[in-house]
Chain A
Amino acid sequence: MKISIIGFGAVGQGVAKAIRSTQERLKRKYNLKIDIVAVADSKGAAVKEDGLDPQKLLEVKSEKGTVAYYPDHGHENMDGLQVLEEVEYDCLVEVTPTNIITGEPGKSLITKAMKDGKEVVTSNKGHLSLFYKELVNLAKKHNVNFKFEASVGGAMPIINFAQETLPSSKIESIIGILNGTTNFILSRMTAEGSSYEQTLKEAQELGIAETDPTQDVEGLDAACKSVILANSVLGRECTLDDVEVTGITRITPEAIELAKEDGYHIKLIAEISHDILRVGPRLVKETSPYAVDGTLNMATLRTDLAGEITVIGKGAGSIETASAILTDIINIWKSKQS
């Protein structure tokens, strides 16, 4: 299977690493050979019809800052759309940064790939939380696979889990922690009694929070993921505008202390049901499945037949997110074999 990776930040590089480390197993187990025929980042691209070397890609990126300097096959200033126009490939792996205002450049890339009859796998939340229906309909119209497990919960299985592992049950609601950065901050505040500002700084120093932490701490990242789950798992039609969002910036150490006195923790909880769509800080019992700490994500699915089912896993991280992307690629491959 020939893939084009557009976007070569932490997740894109994770995909290259995951492919490098699993190639023998994938060949043996699924008879699947993944060739990375093109990679594009913000400065250029590398293109090779019979497959780029994942190791070389990672080295060039780390030494020169862009894959455009890949020996003999690098192209400065070649952008993602040009790559999709010129390269022969089967599946687009779209891992450009999330943009919650326009959904670009991801939306244009995905649209082009689908119109060209290519399969699409993405980890990007922007276009999905703004144009879910449009994109899913486009995929249907062109009869291509469109998979986005990595967009919610990183390595934690949830979309495929609900759609493919639990087809007998109707999912009535999903309640969970969908943002690792805020969960880390709140866990630290709970353990240390520290202030929000202080703890945010610590998270930034550890690389867990970004320099501009707005999307995480204001609950927008979790809101995007809630929209994706509401559409894909609960069959609702909604966008980011429909989410009631409250962040964690006003939470005081006193609030955490008062909660603890009664055996509660404060967590940023996403609630998705047929009539609720909201993200905000909530009190959770310290003995409940919601009391997971650090950067972990979790979600409890309430179903009609199976009762409650809870999943927990790493919500971010390069290789962890790449694992979900690779799973989507393998599933597309398997579906094509039968």
Chain B
Amino acid sequence: MDPIGVLRLRMSLVLELQDVPGQLVAALEPIASVGANIVTIIHERDAKTGALVPVQITIEGDKETLDLAIKKLTEKGIRIIEKDGIPLKEKVNAILIGKISEEELKSIVDDINRLKAVKVADLSLKMSTTTSTIKITMEAEHNSLKLLEDEIHKIGTREGLLVITET
């Protein structure tokens, strides 16, 4: 029995799991271990990409329990791609090296910001006598990461820059 006055909340998460036996149980274990109730589980098999399948789960508990469940899932390396219907954004970095003028840098940032579900969050610039090195930190939805990477490499090729992105 819950103590009187503790508000029980429902939260809907979309997890991205490997499509192999045992993965779902492994993802549910940390949720159950913190005492959250599992209300529904829906495999979104139609949305399967490669070896990964999105699984929508609804869980119930007080706020602390739900926060703890998210923390446990993240610690286990389970990717949460959506929370209560809103795609979670991820931070990604790219480093650009070469000769870049201020205008060119501005146009690069504009090009990135124009991409769907992507935004430049931070810029760091270091200059040496011959070259500039720029780190761009971006926020993007999980689904846009691949597109973003391709786009940055395209920009690099266009501007004659060396582009270093994350693995």
C-alpha spacing A175/B167, complex, angstroms = 9
Chain A min CB distance to B147 (Å): 15
A252 near B97: Cβ-Cβ < 8 Å: yes
Q: Which residue of B lies closest to A302 (CB)?
A: B51
Mark interface residues in B115-151 (1 if CB within 8 Å of A CB, else 0): 0000000001011100101010100000000000000
Q: Which residues of A contact B166 (CB under 8 A)?
A: 264, 282-284
Q: Is B93 positioned at the interface, with any CB of A under 8 Å from its CB?
A: yes
Q: Could you say which of A254, A264, A288 contacts B126, with CB atoms under 8 Å apart?
A: A254
Q: Is B65 positioned at the interface, with any CB of A under 8 Å from its CB?
A: no
Mark interface residues in A241-265 (1 if CB within 8 Å of B CB, else 0): 0000010001110110111011010
Q: Which residue of A lies closest to B127 (CB)?
A: A254
Q: Which residues of A contact B50 (CB under 8 A)?
A: 172
C-alpha spacing A302/B165, complex, angstroms = 20
Q: Which residue of B lies closest to A278 (CB)?
A: B153
C-alpha spacing A252/B98, complex, angstroms = 10
C-alpha spacing A254/B162, complex, angstroms = 13
C-alpha spacing A126/B110, complex, angstroms = 44
Please judge, given known A-B contacts A264-B93, A283-B93, A304-B51, whether A255 and B18 are in contact too, CB under 8 Å: no
Please judge, given known A-B contacts A175-B167, A262-B93, whether A250 and B18 are in contact too, CB under 8 Å: no
A258 near B167: Cβ-Cβ < 8 Å: no
Q: Is B41 positioned at the interface, with any CB of A under 8 Å from its CB?
A: no
B167 near A282: Cβ-Cβ < 8 Å: yes
A-B pairs with CB below 8 Å: how many?
A: 70
A307 near B126: Cβ-Cβ < 8 Å: no
C-alpha spacing A307/B131, complex, angstroms = 41
B124 near A307: Cβ-Cβ < 8 Å: no
Q: Which residue of A lies closest to B126 (CB)?
A: A254
B51 near A258: Cβ-Cβ < 8 Å: no
Q: Which of A254, A280, A284, A305 has the most CB of B within 10 A?
A: A254
Per the 8 Å Cβ criterion, residues 90-119 of A in contact with B are: none
Main secondary structure of the interface of A (DSSP, over half): mixed
Q: Which residue of B lies closest to A282 (CB)?
A: B167
B97 near A290: Cβ-Cβ < 8 Å: no
Q: Is A269 positioned at the interface, with any CB of B under 8 Å from its CB?
A: yes
Q: Is B38 positioned at the interface, with any CB of A under 8 Å from its CB?
A: no
Q: Is A315 positioned at the interface, with any CB of B under 8 Å from its CB?
A: no
Per the 8 Å Cβ criterion, residues 94-123 of B in contact with A are: 94-95, 97-98
Please judge, given known A-B contacts A264-B166, A281-B164, A284-B167, whether A252 and B51 are in contact too, CB under 8 Å: no
C-alpha spacing A271/B135, complex, angstroms = 23
A290 near B126: Cβ-Cβ < 8 Å: no
A283 near B164: Cβ-Cβ < 8 Å: yes
C-alpha spacing A175/B166, complex, angstroms = 12
C-alpha spacing A55/B43, complex, angstroms = 65
A255 near B95: Cβ-Cβ < 8 Å: yes
Please judge, given known A-B contacts A252-B128, A258-B95, whether A290 and B51 are in contact too, CB under 8 Å: no
Q: Could you say which of B20, B127, B162 contacts A250, with CB atoms under 8 Å apart?
A: B162
Q: Which residues of B contact A281 (CB under 8 A)?
A: 162, 164
Q: Which residue of B lies closest to A284 (CB)?
A: B167
A283 near B95: Cβ-Cβ < 8 Å: yes
Q: Which residue of B lies closest to A283 (CB)?
A: B166
Q: Which residues of A contact B126 (CB under 8 A)?
A: 252, 254, 257-258
C-alpha spacing A19/B167, complex, angstroms = 40
A254 near B128: Cβ-Cβ < 8 Å: yes
Q: Which residues of B contact A (CB under 8 A)?
A: 18, 20, 50-51, 93-95, 97-98, 124, 126-128, 131, 133, 135, 137, 162, 164-167
New contact pairs (15) apart from A254-B128, A281-B162, CB-CB < 8 Å: A250-B97, A252-B128, A252-B133, A255-B95, A258-B133, A261-B124, A262-B135, A266-B95, A280-B164, A282-B167, A283-B95, A283-B166, A284-B166, A290-B167, A304-B20
Q: Which residues of A contact B (CB under 8 A)?
A: 172, 175, 246, 250-252, 254-255, 257-259, 261-262, 264, 266, 269, 271, 280-284, 288, 290, 302, 304-305, 307
3 nearest A-B residue pairs (beta carbon): A254-B126, A254-B133, A258-B135
